[in-house]
């Protein structure tokens, strides 16, 4: 172990002076160990290799500040640990930003859809209001209250055939009033599902 520390001491001393060969020797000595460490924390080997490159780039950039009384191994792994922390902090922020965007977009879409639906229902209701009074009453009893044609006929004291004719005329009128396809879909739902 002492031999390793003294070998590192000489290499770090030379690296401090800008010796590229010393840098390459330290890279050869520690890069595989650092890569193994990084692969244990990062999601892909590519990310781990990139982090090793970043660590050694940082060592090269700060070579003049290296401390000869400090373990080079500990120094490298401290830098690596800090890079891993920054990686996850950045990743967390990006994921949070993406989630916030999706929630905002979803909320905006839902609000827009609700407003659009409410507008369509209002258009249909306005069209229903334009029906003659007796036809409107028969139509509402059929579609909103769910009464059968026989029940409507009995309730209003008219024939079943009159009820059927009034509903047919109401539907034709509503179809001509509502040309917008998206509103027509809601109208169809309204006409046949209630």
CA-nearest of 46, 37, 44, 43 to 82 is 37
Per-residue confidence (pLDDT) for residue 41, from 0 to 100: 83
Q: Which of 71-75, 144-148, 176-180 has the highest average model confidence (pLDDT)?
A: 71-75
Distance of CA 28 to the CA centre of its chain: 42
DSSP state for residue 178 in the 8-state scheme: -
What's the CATH fold of domain 2-86? Rna Polymerase Sigma Factor; Chain: A (1.10.1740)
Average pLDDT, stretch 30-47?
Answer: 89
Per-residue confidence (pLDDT) for residue 193, from 0 to 100: 46
Level-2 CATH architecture, domain 130-193: Orthogonal Bundle (1.10)
pLDDT band with cut points at 50, 70 and 90 for residue 111: low
Backbone torsions φ then ψ of 68, nearest 5 degrees:
-70, -20
Structure tokens at 64: 């003049």
pLDDT band with cut points at 50, 70 and 90 for residue 128: confident
Per-residue confidence (pLDDT) for residue 170, from 0 to 100: 86
Per-residue confidence (pLDDT) for residue 82, from 0 to 100: 86
pLDDT band with cut points at 50, 70 and 90 for residue 1: very low
Note the maximum CA span of the chain: 110
Q: Please indicate whether residue 127 or residue 36 has the higher confidence score (pLDDT).
A: 36
Per-residue confidence (pLDDT) for residue 11, from 0 to 100: 92
DSSP state for residue 40 in the 8-state scheme: T
Q: Where are the alpha helices (DSSP H) in the chain?
A: 2-16, 20-39, 45-61, 72-129, 133-143, 149-156, 160-177, 181-193
Q: How far apart are CA 52 and CA 36, in angstroms?
A: 10
Residue 96 has pLDDT above 90, yes or no: no
Q: Where are the domains of the chain?
A: 2-86, 130-193
Residue 71 has pLDDT above 60, yes or no: yes
CA-CA-CA-CA torsion sign (176, 181, 183, 187): positive
Summarize pLDDT for 162-173 with one digit per residue, the tens: 999 998 898 888
Q: How far apart are CA 17 and CA 65, in angstroms?
A: 10
């Amino acid at each position: 172990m002492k031999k390793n520390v003294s070998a590192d001491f000489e290499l770090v001393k030379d690296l401090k002076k800008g010796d590229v060969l010393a840098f390459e020797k330290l890279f050869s000595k520690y890069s595989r160990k650092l890569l193994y460490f990084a692969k244990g924390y990062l999601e892909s080997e590519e990310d781990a290799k990139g982090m090793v490159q970043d660590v050694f780039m940082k060592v090269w950039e700060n070579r003049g500040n290296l401390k000869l009384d400090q373990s080079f191994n500990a120094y490298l792994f401290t830098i690596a640990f800090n890079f891993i922390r920054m990686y996850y902090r950045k990743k967390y922020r990006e994921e949070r930003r993406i989630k916030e965007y999706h929630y905002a977009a979803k909320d905006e879409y839902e609000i827009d859809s609700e407003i659009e639906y409410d507008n369509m229902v209002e258009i249909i209701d306005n069209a229903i209001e334009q029906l003659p009074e007796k036809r409107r009453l028969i139509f509402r009893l059929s579609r909103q209250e769910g009464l059968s044609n026989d029940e409507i006929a009995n309730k209003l004291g008219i024939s079943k055939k009159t009820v059927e004719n009034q509903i047919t005329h109401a539907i034709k009128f509503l179809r001509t009033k509502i040309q917008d396809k998206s509103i027509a879909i809601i109208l169809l739902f309204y006409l046949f599902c209630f």
